Structure 1
């Protein structure tokens, strides 16, 4: 099937709106009364699981530091006061990245619903995506879509990580390439929810994002940067979904509309 042109979609987009602007718009959208419930549910799941994992990880860290303290000579005991906060911050950053991946799987059905409600709010036209029973029946397809993203991500991520082992390249180009790749993947991850609500194939979605690569990359870069900030990373997922849906409505919807729009 040929890819539809995005020219009409771009022509109707808000003038010169960047991907970063769309991401920041998500902060306003999550506060809208009609969306709070759909933001609250995945946020509570995220907070509960993250808190439990952090509690377990903190216990393991305490055990590790007790062992390190026993190995250090007395005159180096002051290192504990320096290393402990650094270790906690490092653990928070690593857990933030891991949880963003895990939560995208666990919260995938809720994320699709949030994207649906945001689109309805922005367009004034409801999407017909079925009832709760239909959602449960659709779970294998939704999780299959997440699997497609994971299959796309893993080999490319491993290749980027391998570059860190290359002398010179690993210290210079590899970190930049990793950031750019992470930004691209964040755009794919969150823009996919409104595309998938319209049953747009995964390859077509990637094609659309490549056609507006500057916007896509600046959106993904914003998501990546905010995901690195402890505490703030808890709300990045709903903010990114809201921002990505706003981008879908203004830049892609007219070109990729699917007859899931309920009749007036």
Structure 2
């Protein structure tokens, strides 16, 4: 379990920024490269297909619109592409967390080894393959935690007054919390820390957890930039694990921020 001693008092923003520095380290680049390339290939393939469908849609619209409204294509086309880019960026962030889960855990392991100089001894590649059901099971636990709460928050958007005032703020805070859970979970899971214990530790360090998650959320909203958010967030979350939880995970609680 976790003790009251907290090594560092850095904010979550600082840890995310540290993630940018860590992905450039020679010993970590190859572990960043694999999930990043999977992300880029899948996203490029989906974009190619989606743009083809969009072209067909606008070709059909050309045939339906009178000539004096043909200028609408020049207005709607960039808006449609931008909307599609933003929506697909969010969808791929979610999908990639599943596809890249084994690589993300491996990246967290190598970052921890880089920061501490100690090998985690998690086994060979064969052991990692055998561990895949447990790894994907952990992703399923996170999804089960996320979905009912996300649906509840989305309902708030339909409520009068609340939907236009409090709901967007609450949704951002919830998203920030989920980003902290998503990425901090990889180093916790590498040490087989139960999901509920991980949440307990993050709740007791709300300041760093929410500031880290909020920073990840903001960067995830930026198309193209969000391609590198995943490895940066994993590196930053692992640095936070090393500072705040790793050596302290012995007793019952984590000292709050």
Which category of TM-score, normalised to the shorter sequence, fits these structures? over 0.9
Distance across 1 between alignment mates of 2:153 and 2:62: 36
Distance across 2 between alignment mates of 1:209 and 1:219: 11
Structure 1 stretches of 5 or more lacking a match? 258-264
> Is 1:204 equivalent to 2:197 in the alignment?
yes
Taking structure 2 as the reference length, the TM-score comes to 0.94
Aligned residue number for residue 144 of structure 2? 151
> Is 1:167 equivalent to 2:185 in the alignment?
no
Query: How many residue pairs align between the two structures?
Result: 251
TM-superposed deviation, 1:63: 1.9
> Is 1:4 equivalent to 2:31 in the alignment?
no
Q: Retained in 1: the 8 A contact 2:2–2:245?
A: no
Match of 2:63 among 57, 70, 73: 70
Distance across 2 between alignment mates of 1:163 and 1:69: 39
TM-superposed deviation, 1:4: 2.9
Distance across 2 between alignment mates of 1:75 and 1:214: 56
Q: Retained in 2: the 8 A contact 1:25–1:243?
A: yes
Distance across 1 between alignment mates of 2:166 and 2:60: 37
TM-superposed deviation, 1:72: 2.9
Distance across 2 between alignment mates of 1:181 and 1:213: 12
TM-superposed deviation, 1:151: 0.3
TM-superposed deviation, 1:67: 2.8
Distance across 2 between alignment mates of 1:76 and 1:162: 38
Name the SS for the 1:144 alignment partner.
helix
Aligned residue number for residue 261 of structure 1? none
> Is 1:45 equivalent to 2:43 in the alignment?
no
Aligned residue number for residue 18 of structure 1? 11
Q: CA RMSD in A?
A: 1.4
Q: Retained in 2: the 8 A contact 1:105–1:143?
A: yes
TM-superposed deviation, 1:75: 2.5
TM-superposed deviation, 1:173: 1.4
